[in-house]
Each structure stands twice: as C-alpha cells, then as structure tokens.
Structure 1
Amino acid sequence: MNIHTHKRIAELVDENYAYASVLYYFGITFYDYDEKTLEQVCRERGLNVHEVIQDLEAIYEQDEDEVVGLSALPVDVIIAYLKHTHFQFIKKRLPYLSKLIHHLPTHRYPNIVEDLQFVFPLFVEDIIHHIYEEEDDFFSYVLELQSAYQANQPSSSLYLNMEKRSIQEFAIHHDIDDDEMAGIRQITNDYTTKNIDSLHLRVVYAELQKFERELCIHASVENEILFPKALMLEKQVQKIMRSKVRFN
C-alpha cells in the first residue's frame, strides 16, 4: 500500500485503525497529532519517515495456520510460545489499550466512555492475575510432568503434586474463565461502530475486538493443543509411577 507522507494522521488511522498502534510504538499518539501530516510529526519527533512507513506497510493479522503447526511440537515449546504471548499481552497490548481508553474524551459518548474507563482496569487486573496463576501453577505442573517422563523417574514432590491436582481440574477451571470480555462486549454493543463518529472510539473498538481475537487464538492453543498433550503426559507419568511401585 502506498502511504503518502502528506496525509494527516487522522486520515491515515481512519484508513486502517491498526496504524494507530504502529504509530504508538514510535511514540506518536494519533489523537494528539491528528491534524498534522505524517511528515510533520516525524520531523517534529526526529523520526525517519521512511522507517515509519515501512512499519505501517508491514501490518498483518496473525495467521491461524501458524498456530496449527504447534500441535506437532513438545509441550515445553508450546508453553514457551504461550509465555511469549503472555509477555506481549502484559507489556504491549494491555498498556496500549489502557492508554487509549484512559484518554478517551468523555463529552461525546459519556456513558460508553465512563463504563469502559471503569471496567477495563478491572479486566486488566483479572487477566494479569489469570496469566501469572496459569504460569505459576498449570505451566509449572506440566513442565514437571515432562521432566519426569523424560527421565523416567517421577520425584516425590511430583507425586505429592499429582495427589493435589490434575490436568482435568485445570481444564475445568480454564473453561470457566474463558470468556473474560463478555462485559466489554456488552458495553460496546459487540464493538458496533455504526453510529460512532469519533475516530478515537472507533480505534478503541477495533483494538478491543482484535485483542479478543488474540485471546481466542491463545485459548484455542491451550484447549485444543496443550491440554490434550498435558493429559496424555500425566497418564504416562502415572503409568511410570505404577510400574515403579509394582517392581519395588
């Protein structure tokens, strides 16, 4: 796509809402520079306009086919992929969304904006808690199972761990937490922008919808790839344990 440097920032973002996030990572908040051209803003901020354009043109949606390839990989690699996604959520996506929502002007759509500004920080707190709990409990347990299976020698600590928890319990708990964005969908009327003429709010809706898709892809990797592999691993370790007890 040919991006013209003389276009106003508002025009560019209106063409593709995803441009707003690219500009943000260059330190350009689109709503603060909306009437200036890309060339003017880059000159003001000492940025190479050609590098900015290159990143704008490189935008793409995550390819779900890439996720399918994970099914052939061992659990430690899948967990590394999921941890990297967690890092992206916590360090990039959620701070960006939080800033976008925090700076929404309230005078045009006060009810929607006030509700989002109240609910979204609670959502962020919940999802970060969920991520750390998942990494500390579920991921750690699965990696411990993998180590025991590879060594053909479950430790006593793992035996006690397996007495207290199971992959099936983790899966049930995960299903309960799966639809974290139901409240946000309700506030935004399923991200409908038909009667929304605020560019800022339309960008927020687009980014929330994109983040929900990312969460769905993330959850499908856990539910459809990691959980079945982890369940099989747990059964294999249980089998090793039974054989050890039988021969002792």
Structure 2
Amino acid sequence: MEILDILDVTQIEPRFKHPRIFEKFDSLNPNEGFIIDNDHDPKPLYYQLIGERGNVFTWDYLENGPERWKVKIRKIDGQDKVETIGEMVTKDYRKAQVFKKFGIDFCCGGKKTVEEVCLTKGLDSAKIISELEAVQNQEPAAGHKFDEWPLDFLADYIINTHHDYVKNNVPFITELANKVAKVHRQGHPETIEIANIFNEVGKDLSLHLMKEENIVFPYVKALVQNTKTGEASPIAAFDSIETPTQMMEMEHEQAGEAMAAIRELTADYTLPEGACTSYTLLYKKLQEFENDLFNHVHLENNILFPKAIALEKESLGSEVKK
C-alpha cells in the first residue's frame, strides 16, 4: 500500500499555508504525491496551483468535509500528460455533445481528465473514449474556431452572446420559477427549492457579469492592445490576471453546481404528468439556460482565461528583457 506524506495545514500560519504547499509540490519528482489535511475545502488552492503550475498534477478528495478535508495531490510526468476534457472540447467542440450525453461537465470540470471524471462518477471510460474517437473521425462541420480568435474579439463575443443571454433570460426564468412554485408547491414541493436555487443563481450571475465586464475583460482587451503596440502591461488593481480569473472560475463552479442541483431535482427536466404550460416552459428554459452556461463557462475557463494568463506572462517577460 502506498504511503504518502501528510501535510497538516491547520498547523501552519495562514499567510504561509500556500507557499508551504507550493514548496512541497515543487520538491516532488514526477508521479510522487502528498496529502493535504485541512479544516475547510482547499478549492482556492486548486485554482492557484492550476494557474501557476499548469495542468501538471492530479487532485483527488480522500475526505470531503464537513469537519476535515483531505486531498491527495500527485505531480504528473510532463511526458505522460493526459489531455483534459477542456482541452479536448477546445480542439473539437463536437466532443462537448459526448460529454453532455454522459452528464460530464466540460466547463467547470474542464481541467480534469476523462479517466478522473469516470472514476468519480462510476462511468465506463472505454465507452466514452470510443464515442469521442468516433466524433473525431467524422468530417468536421463548419463552425466557430474559438481557440483561434483574438482574445479581445472573444471577450466581446462572450459579452454580446452569453452575457446578453443571461441578462435577458434571468428575470423571465426567475418570475416563471416563482410562479410555478406558488401554484404547484403542494403537489410538487421540489418546485420551491428549484425557485430558491435559481433566484440565487440569477443574483450571483448578475454580480459576476459586472465584475467580468468592468474588471476582467477590459484588462484582457487592454493587454491585447498593448501587446500589439509594444506598450507596457496595463495597470490594474490586482497583481496578476490570475487573481480575478481564479475568483471567476470559483463562481462559475458555484453556478454549475447550482444548475446540477436543479437538474437532479427535476430528474433531468422530466415533466410530471399533466404539467401545465408554465411548468413545461420553465423546464425548457432551465435546460436552455444550463446549456448556455456550459458553453459560456467553457469559453472562459478553457480558452479566454488560460490564454490571457499566458499573454500577461509573455508581456511581462518582454518588459523584463527591455
């Protein structure tokens, strides 16, 4: 049985926790690992590790609260690096349909491999890989090549397509969910929870979009422009673009988890017998909203944010050389 070092971070002063964990990770050889023992979910560390070291590790929960969280972190051999779900969809967007079919999150969970997700969900990885290969062998259809778009153009596309969709649909779906809950709460008490969850999703996403449109995207667009002109990196209220994008990814995950909870409460949007028009429309709009969220978050988590981080580092490197 493999014995791994356990790092009890509850015994470390807060400001030294992440530096100590990074020091431990950097000391590992490929395929070596250690366990973090903490008194809260170390998810922020996951995003920081991804942002600063890249997809060069595995992250497995051994205990997941409510009092202790234990996570096994293993360094991956760079030569044996496995393509992540997000990378697969970025290269070939048709594969998103395969992941949707099996209930696999390709946006918030895009940094995981197929094998990791299948192990967690108890899915047959061989079957999924077979379907992914079948899609890959098909004649590619004409479509947007988001991975090839300039970042400033991609940011504008996200605002004009997905942000506008959220702004236009949240009020309507919220009103509809509240109406269905009020009318059908006696026979279908789950409608109350569905309405409550979506009310929170709507409020949280409204604030989220404001932060992206007023802080993150303007910086990304300025970074692109300054790179073209050879000017210095734009001045911002944060040390690095990694800081706000990590926060955005955490908020994406919260929204994804909320929509997953709604999907579970609705039994994959299965209408009860005799559902009225409002009930039917609500389920249709919730499913549509979830699909848009998946596509929206994929463009940010798997394309815009990683490329912006890389561009910023490249820009800073050029300034140092000067």
Residue number in structure 1 paired with 2:201? 123
Q: How many aligned residue pairs are there?
A: 174
Identity %: 25
Q: Within the alignment, does 1:150 sit opposite 2:228 as a pair? A: yes
| 1:69 to 2:145 alignment | yes
What does residue 178 of structure 1 align with?
A: 252
Match of 2:165 in 1: 88
Unaligned segments of structure 1, at least 5 residues? 1-63
Residue pair 2:151, 2:304 contacting (<8 A) in 1 also: yes
1:213 is aligned to 2:291: yes
The Cα shift of 1:108 comes to 5.6
Code of the aligned partner of 1:70: F
Cα offset, 1:72, TM superposition: 1.8
User: How far apart, CA to CA, are the structure 1 residues paired with 2:265 and 2:142?
Assistant: 32
Q: Which structure carries more helix by proportion? A: 1
Shift of 1:241: 1.4
Aligned to 2:42: none
Measured on the aligned residues, the alpha-carbon RMSD in Å equals: 2.4
Compare relative contact order (CA 8 Å, sep 6+) and give the higher one, 1 or 2.
1
- Of the three residues 142, 167, 173, the one matched with 1:97 is 173
> Which residue of 159, 166, 172 maps to 2:241?
166
Q: TM-score, normalised by structure 1?
A: 0.62
Match of 1:191 among 257, 260, 269: 269
Pairing of 1:1-16 with structure 2 (within 5 A)? none
CA distance in 2, matches of 1:220, 1:96: 24
Judged with a 3 Å threshold, the aligned counterparts in structure 2 of structure 1 residues 161 and 216 are, in CA distance, closer, same or farther, namely same
- For 1:202, the equivalent position in structure 2 comes to 280
Contact kept? 2:216, 2:244, Cα under 8 Å: yes
Tell me which of 306, 311, 314 is aligned to 1:233: 311
Shift of 1:171: 4.0
Answer whether contact 1:153 1:240 (CA < 8 A) is retained.
no
Deviation string, structure 1 residues 17-67 (Cα, Å, up to 9, x no partner): xxxxxxxxxxxxxxxxxxxxxxxxxxxxxxxxxxxxxxxxxxxxxxx964x
Q: Larger Cα Rg: Structure 1 or Structure 2?
A: 1
Going by fraction, where is strand more abundant, 1 or 2?
2
- Which structure 2 segments of 5+ residues have no match? 1-140
TM-score by length of 2: 0.49
Cα pair 1:154 1:237 within 8 Å, conserved: yes
Cα distance in 2 for partners of 1:236, 1:107 equals 55
The SS at the match of 2:270 is coil
